[in-house]
């Protein structure tokens, strides 16, 4: 029989409230961080989530591996209802999370030990742990650093080791919550390249939360959040075609998209939603002819 929810991730009328209480336990205030969100993410998709600070991205993402449970509504991860405690084990293994600060995520003294912690914790046999460590470090381009101390790595390298630690659990889905926010431009590129490779080569579902618009253009689909709601969704081209709407939501567009938009406003016959320099050059060449 077909499962009711065969998406990788599905939320139905998801609402989450943070409740602040005083010392006696009386409710002092409620913040509705996620407000009636319905999304569905299919296996193998590369999804980006955008939104201004405080729009609810992290709160939403924490529902995807049962770090938070819905106040109202339901979340399914690979068909498992996250509110059902019996599913916790499955969910945590299938959906791994990478956070902003790599220093908080690495615990091992040596890179390969760190990557092996997860599989060790779930009782994977030693021989297989080493196989997983090797394959995971190779997948993120960090194998040659396997004997190093994580302390001596750059931020981008550390972040790739964190990702390797997640891959070693053989997840179906990886959620990256601003993984590049603390990195330099090269570190950012390497981390995004690693995430794209996992998506394309291993078919792992990727959910990327980011403030860098340039990182979004590779995704299959984008969700834009504001005040706990999903305000926009579509392909990167559909989203970035709406420059004025994005400005209302206090978001940027990629620089080349903005330039193309400005040129169009000044009368050049360009299409909306140009995402790369190559696309802009192609269209400018056509005008000259
Ligand atoms: N632990 C918490 N307790 C109370 N309120 C919280 C908590 N974490 C977040 N919030 C509030 O919930 C709302 C959504 O926060 P969230 O961190 O999910 O947003 P975000 O989109 O991830 O923001 P950012 O871009 O800054 O990471 C905000 O109003 C925030 O102040
Ligand atoms: Mg956040």
Q: Using the mean position of ligand 2's atoms as its centre, give its distance from the Cα of residue 241 in Å.
A: 25
Asked whether 34 lines ligand 1 (CB < 6 A), one says: no
- 3-state SS of the chain is CCCCCCCCEEEEEEEEEEEEECCCCCEEEEEEEEEEEEEEECCCCEEEEEECCCCCHHHHHHHCCCCCCCCEEEEEECCEECCCHHHHHHHHHHEEEECCCHHHCCCCCCHHHHHHHHHHHCCCCHHHHHHHHHHHHHHCCCHHHCCCCHHHCCHHHHHHHHHHHHHCCCCCEEEEECCCCCCCHHHHHHHHHHHHHHHHHHCCEEEEECCCHHHHHHCCEEEEEECCEEEEEECHHHHHCCHHHHHHCCCCCCHHHHHHHHHHHCCCCCCCCCCCHHHHHHHHHHHHC
Nearest CA to ligand 1 atom 11: 33
Atom index in ligand 1 nearest the CA of residue 62 equals 18
The whole-number average pLDDT for the span 180-209 is 93
**10 Å Cβ neighbour count for 255?**
11
Look at the chain and report how many structural domains it folds into: 2
Atom index in ligand 1 nearest the CA of residue 225 equals 21
The whole-number average pLDDT for the span 231-243 is 95
Round the average pLDDT of the chain to a whole number and report it.
Answer: 93
pLDDT above 70 (res 289)? no
The whole-number average pLDDT for the span 166-174 is 95
172, 41: one domain? yes
Sheet holding 221-226, edge to edge: 95-98, 173-177, 205-209, 46-51, 221-226, 229-234
The whole-number average pLDDT for the span 59-75 is 97
Q: Which of 209, 226, 245 is the last residue of a domain?
A: 245
Asked whether 38 lines ligand 1 (CB < 6 A), one says: no
267, 186: one domain? no
- Give the CATH number, domain containing residue 154: 3.40.50.300
Asked whether 31 lines ligand 1 (CB < 6 A), one says: yes
Mutate to test the pocket of ligand 1, among 58, 60, 229 (most ligand atoms within 8 A of CB): 58
Q: Which residues contact 73 (CB under 8 A, 6 or more apart)?
A: 11, 12, 13, 14, 15, 36, 37
267, 139: one domain? no
The whole-number average pLDDT for the span 27-31 is 94
Lowest mean pLDDT among 8-12, 76-80, 100-104, 281-285: 100-104
Nearest CA to ligand 1 atom 28: 54
160, 135: one domain? yes
Span 36-46, pLDDT tens digits? 999 999 999 99
Span 204-213, pLDDT tens digits? 999 999 999 8
265, 151: one domain? no
Report the interhelical angle of 126-139 vs 155-167 (nearest 10°): 140
**Whole-angstrom distance, CA of residue 70 vs CA of residue 55:** 17
Mutate to test the pocket of ligand 1, among 54, 68, 209, 230 (most ligand atoms within 8 A of CB): 54
Q: Using the mean position of ligand 1's atoms as its centre, give its distance from the Cα of residue 32 in Å.
A: 10
Span 219-233, pLDDT tens digits? 999 999 999 999 999
288 pLDDT tier (thresholds 50, 70, 90): confident
221, 106: one domain? yes
Asked whether 55 lines ligand 1 (CB < 6 A), one says: yes
Q: How far is CA 10 from CA 18, 220, 262, 266, in A?
A: 21, 17, 38, 42
219, 265: one domain? no
The whole-number average pLDDT for the span 21-46 is 95
Backbone angles phi, psi at 42, to 5 degrees: -90, 155
182 pLDDT tier (thresholds 50, 70, 90): confident
pLDDT above 80 (res 3)? no
171, 288: one domain? no
pLDDT above 90 (res 78)? yes
175, 289: one domain? no
Q: Using the mean position of ligand 1's atoms as its centre, give its distance from the Cα of residue 180 in Å.
A: 18
Atom index in ligand 1 nearest the CA of residue 34 equals 14
The whole-number average pLDDT for the span 9-30 is 95
Q: Using the mean position of ligand 1's atoms as its centre, give its distance from the Cα of residue 18 in Å.
A: 9
Expressed as residue numbers, the domain containing 141 is 4-245
278, 198: one domain? no
170, 275: one domain? no
Span 85-125, pLDDT tens digits? 999 999 999 999 999 998 888 888 999 999 999 999 989 99
Asked whether 53 lines ligand 1 (CB < 6 A), one says: yes
Produce one character per residue of 210-223: b if its CB has 16 or more CB atoms within 10 Å, e if not: bbbbbbbbbbebbb
User: Counting beta carbons within 10 angstroms of the beta carbon of residue 100, is it exposed (0 to 12), middle (13 to 18) or buried (19 or more)?
Assistant: middle
44, 167: one domain? yes
Asked whether 210 lines ligand 1 (CB < 6 A), one says: no
pLDDT above 70 (res 1)? no
Asked whether 57 lines ligand 1 (CB < 6 A), one says: yes
282 pLDDT tier (thresholds 50, 70, 90): very high
Q: What is the pTM of this model?
A: 0.93
pLDDT above 90 (res 130)? yes
The whole-number average pLDDT for the span 271-289 is 89
């Amino acid at each position: 029989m077909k499962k009711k929810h065969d998406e990788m991730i599905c939320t139905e009328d998801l609402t989450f409230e943070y409740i602040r209480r005083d010392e006696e336990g009386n409710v002092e205030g409620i913040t509705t961080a996620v407000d009636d969100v319905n999304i569905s993410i299919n296996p193998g998709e590369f999804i980006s989530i955008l939104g201004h600070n405080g729009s609810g991205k992290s709160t939403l993402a924490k529902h995807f591996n049962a770090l938070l449970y819905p106040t109202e509504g339901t979340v399914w991860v690979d068909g498992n209802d996250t509110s059902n405690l019996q599913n916790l084990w499955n969910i945590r293994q299938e959906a791994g999370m990478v956070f902003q600060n790599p220093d908080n995520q690495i615990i091992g003294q040596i890179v390969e030990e760190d990557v092996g912690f997860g599989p060790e914790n779930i009782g994977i046999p030693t021989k297989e742990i080493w196989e997983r460590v090797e394959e995971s470090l190779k997948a993120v381009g960090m194998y040659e650093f396997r004997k190093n101390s994580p302390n001596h790595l750059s931020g981008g390298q550390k972040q790739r080791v964190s990702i390797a630690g997640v891959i070693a659990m053989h997840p179906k889905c990886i959620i990256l919550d601003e993984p590049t926010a603390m990195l330099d431009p090269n570190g950012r590129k390497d981390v995004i390249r690693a995430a794209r490779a996992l998506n394309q080569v291993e078919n792992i579902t990727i959910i990327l939360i980011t403030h860098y618009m340039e990182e979004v253009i590779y995704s299959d689909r984008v969700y834009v959040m504001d005040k706990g709601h999903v305000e926009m969704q579509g392909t990167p081209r559909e989203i970035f075609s709406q420059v004025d709407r994005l400005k209302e939501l206090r978001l940027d567009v990629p620089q080349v998209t903005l330039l193309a938009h400005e040129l169009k406003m000044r009368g050049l016959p360009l299409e909306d939603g140009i995402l790369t320099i190559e696309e802009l050059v192609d269209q400018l060449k056509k005008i000259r002819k």
